[in-house]
Chains A and B, each alone.
Chain A
Amino acid sequence: MKIKLYCLTSALVGIILLSGCWSNQELPDLALVSAIGIDLEKDGRYTFTVQVINPGNVAGEGMQGTGGSESPPVSTYTESGWNLTEINRKLSKKVSRHIYFAHTNLVVISEKLAQEEGIMPVLDVLERDHEFRSSAQIVISHQSDAEDIMKTLSSIDKVPANKIINTMKSTEKVWGEHVSVSVRELIAKLVSPGEAPVVTTFHTIENQGETLQSIQRTNPDGRLEAAGLAIFKKGKMVDMTTGEISKGIVWLLNKVKNTAVSVQWEGEKHAAVFDLIRQQTKVSADVEKGGTVRMKVNVAAEGNVSEVQHPINLASPQALNKMEQRVEETIKQSIMHAVDKAQELETDILGFGEAVHREDPEKWKKWEDEWEESYFPEVQVDVSADVFIRRTGLRDEPFHRYLTK
Chain B
Amino acid sequence: MPYRLRRLFKSKKQQAPSSADQKEKTPLGTSLKDNLKEFKKRTGNSSDVVIRTLTTGGMQWEAAIVYIDGIVDNTSIDEFLLEPLLQLEVPTTPVLQQDIPDYISEQVIALGGIESVLDWETLFEAVTIGRTILFIDGAAKALSTSTIGGERRAVEEPPTEISIRGPREGFTESIRTNTAMVRRRIKNPNLRVKTMKIGRQTKTNVEIMYLEGIADEKVVEEVRRRLKQMDMGSILDSGYIEELIEDQPSSPFPTIHFTERPDSAAGNILEGRVAVFVDGSPFILHMPAVFIQFFQSVDDYYSRSYIASSLRMLRIMVFLISLYAPATYVAATTFHQEMIPTQLLIVLSAQREAVPFPALIEAFIMEMTFEVLREAGIRMPKAVGQTVSIVGALVIGQAAVQAGIVSPAMVIIVAITAIASFTTPSYSMAIAARLIRFFLMVIAATFGFYGLILSFIMMTAHLCSLRSFGVPYMAPLAPFVPADFHDSIIRLPWWKAKERPRLISGQNNVRQGDDLKPEAPGTQSIRKQRKNTGDLNED
Spell out A's residues near B (CB within 8 Å): 3, 17, 20-21, 23-28, 30, 32, 34, 53, 55-56, 58-60, 63-66, 100, 102-103, 105, 131, 133, 159
A59, B350: Cβ atoms closer than 8 Å? yes
Nearest CB to that of B402 among chain A residues?
A64
A267 to chain B, nearest CB (A): 52
A100, B337: Cβ atoms closer than 8 Å? yes
Task: Tell me the bound Cα distance from A401 to B408 in angstroms.
Answer: 62
**Interfacial residues of chain B within 336-351, with CB under 8 A of chain A in the complex:** 337-338, 342, 345-351
Q: Is B323 an interface residue (CB 8 A)?
A: no
Q: Is B29 an interface residue (CB 8 A)?
A: no
The stretch among B91-99, B289-297, B439-447 that forms the contact with chain A is B439-447
B350, A63: Cβ atoms closer than 8 Å? yes
Q: A32-B345, A103-B342 given; name 6 further pairs at CB < 8 Å.
A: A24-B448, A25-B334, A27-B333, A27-B337, A28-B349, A32-B342
A59, B346: Cβ atoms closer than 8 Å? yes
A55 to chain B, nearest CB (A): 4
A74 to chain B, nearest CB (A): 11
Contacts of B493 in A (CB 8 A): none
The stretch among B169-177, B264-272, B309-317, B353-361 that forms the contact with chain A is B353-361
Contacts of A103 in B (CB 8 A): 337-338, 342, 345
Q: Is B404 an interface residue (CB 8 A)?
A: yes
Q: Is B485 an interface residue (CB 8 A)?
A: no
Contacts of A53 in B (CB 8 A): 346, 349
Contacts of A159 in B (CB 8 A): 346
A131, B349: Cβ atoms closer than 8 Å? no
Contacts of B355 in A (CB 8 A): 28
B335, A23: Cβ atoms closer than 8 Å? yes
Q: Is B2 an interface residue (CB 8 A)?
A: yes
Q: Is B352 an interface residue (CB 8 A)?
A: yes
Contacts of A64 in B (CB 8 A): 401-402, 404
Contacts of A30 in B (CB 8 A): 337, 349
Task: Tell me the bound Cα distance from A53 to B353 in angstroms.
Answer: 13
**Interfacial residues of chain B within 416-474, with CB under 8 A of chain A in the complex:** 442, 445-448
Q: Which of B338, B342, B358, B401 contacts A26 (CB 8 A)?
A: B358
Task: Tell me the bound Cα distance from A128 to B206 in angstroms.
Answer: 69
Nearest CB to that of B3 among chain A residues?
A3
B446, A58: Cβ atoms closer than 8 Å? no
Task: Tell me the bound Cα distance from A21 to B360 in angstroms.
Answer: 12
Task: Tell me the bound Cα distance from A216 to B446 in angstroms.
Answer: 45
B335, A24: Cβ atoms closer than 8 Å? yes
* A-B residue pairs, 6 tightest by C-beta: A20-B446, A102-B338, A55-B350, A55-B349, A59-B350, A27-B352
Contacts of B404 in A (CB 8 A): 64-65
B346, A58: Cβ atoms closer than 8 Å? yes
What are 9 inter-chain pairs, A to B, with CB distance below 8 A? A24-B334, A26-B334, A27-B337, A27-B345, A32-B346, A64-B401, A103-B338, A103-B345, A105-B342
B448, A23: Cβ atoms closer than 8 Å? yes
**Interfacial residues of chain B within 317-341, with CB under 8 A of chain A in the complex:** 333-335, 337-338
B445, A32: Cβ atoms closer than 8 Å? no
A63, B337: Cβ atoms closer than 8 Å? no
Task: Tell me the bound Cα distance from A388 to B333 in angstroms.
Answer: 52
Task: Tell me the bound Cα distance from A307 to B334 in angstroms.
Answer: 55
Contacts of A27 in B (CB 8 A): 333-334, 337, 345, 348-349, 352-353, 359
Contacts of B447 in A (CB 8 A): 20
Contacts of A28 in B (CB 8 A): 349, 352-353, 355
Task: Tell me the bound Cα distance from A105 to B342 in angstroms.
Answer: 9
What per-residue 1/0 map shows which CB atoms of B377-409 lie under 8 Å from chain A? 000000000000000000000000110100010
Contacts of B347 in A (CB 8 A): 55, 59
What per-residue 1/0 map shows which CB atoms of B125-148 lie under 8 Å from chain A? 000000000000000000000000
A131, B335: Cβ atoms closer than 8 Å? no
B345, A63: Cβ atoms closer than 8 Å? no
Contacts of A56 in B (CB 8 A): 350, 353
A26, B350: Cβ atoms closer than 8 Å? no
A24, B342: Cβ atoms closer than 8 Å? no
A33 to chain B, nearest CB (A): 11
Q: Which of B338, B350, B352 contacts A131 (CB 8 A)?
A: B338
Task: Tell me the bound Cα distance from A367 to B342 in angstroms.
Answer: 45
Task: Tell me the bound Cα distance from A56 to B446 in angstroms.
Answer: 27
Task: Tell me the bound Cα distance from A159 to B347 in angstroms.
Answer: 13
Nearest CB to that of A159 among chain B residues?
B346
Contacts of B446 in A (CB 8 A): 17, 20-21, 24
Task: Tell me the bound Cα distance from A66 to B346 in angstroms.
Answer: 14
- Provided the pairs A102-B338, A103-B345 are in contact, do residues A26 and B445 lie with their beta carbons within 8 angstroms? no
A134 to chain B, nearest CB (A): 13
B535 to chain A, nearest CB (A): 38
Task: Tell me the bound Cα distance from A26 to B330 in angstroms.
Answer: 9
**Interfacial residues of chain B within 225-264, with CB under 8 A of chain A in the complex:** none
Contacts of B335 in A (CB 8 A): 23-25
Nearest CB to that of A131 among chain B residues?
B338
Task: Tell me the bound Cα distance from A133 to B359 in angstroms.
Answer: 25
Q: Which of A25, A66, A100 contacts B350 (CB 8 A)?
A: A66
Task: Tell me the bound Cα distance from A134 to B427 in angstroms.
Answer: 48
- Provided the pairs A17-B442, A58-B346, A131-B338 are in contact, do residues A26 and B333 lie with their beta carbons within 8 angstroms? yes
Task: Tell me the bound Cα distance from A32 to B343 in angstroms.
Answer: 11
A47 to chain B, nearest CB (A): 25
Task: Tell me the bound Cα distance from A261 to B532 in angstroms.
Answer: 60
Most B CB within 10 A of own CB, among A64, A103, A159: A103
Task: Tell me the bound Cα distance from A355 to B304 in angstroms.
Answer: 58
Task: Tell me the bound Cα distance from A59 to B344 in angstroms.
Answer: 9
Contacts of B348 in A (CB 8 A): 27
Task: Tell me the bound Cα distance from A63 to B347 in angstroms.
Answer: 10
B358, A55: Cβ atoms closer than 8 Å? no
A293 to chain B, nearest CB (A): 44
A36 to chain B, nearest CB (A): 15
Contacts of B401 in A (CB 8 A): 64
Contacts of B353 in A (CB 8 A): 27-28, 55-56, 66
Q: Which of A24, A55, A63, A65 contacts B346 (CB 8 A)?
A: A55
A220 to chain B, nearest CB (A): 22
B455 to chain A, nearest CB (A): 12
Task: Tell me the bound Cα distance from A32 to B342 in angstroms.
Answer: 9
Contacts of A59 in B (CB 8 A): 346-347, 349-351
A63, B342: Cβ atoms closer than 8 Å? no
Task: Tell me the bound Cα distance from A102 to B402 in angstroms.
Answer: 31
Nearest CB to that of B342 among chain A residues?
A103
B329 to chain A, nearest CB (A): 11
B33 to chain A, nearest CB (A): 62
Task: Tell me the bound Cα distance from A102 to B338 in angstroms.
Answer: 5
Contacts of A17 in B (CB 8 A): 442, 446
Nearest CB to that of A57 among chain B residues?
B350
Nearest CB to that of B357 among chain A residues?
A26
Contacts of B442 in A (CB 8 A): 17
Task: Tell me the bound Cα distance from A56 to B333 in angstroms.
Answer: 16
Task: Tell me the bound Cα distance from A34 to B349 in angstroms.
Answer: 14
Contacts of A63 in B (CB 8 A): 350-351, 408
Task: Tell me the bound Cα distance from A21 to B334 in angstroms.
Answer: 10
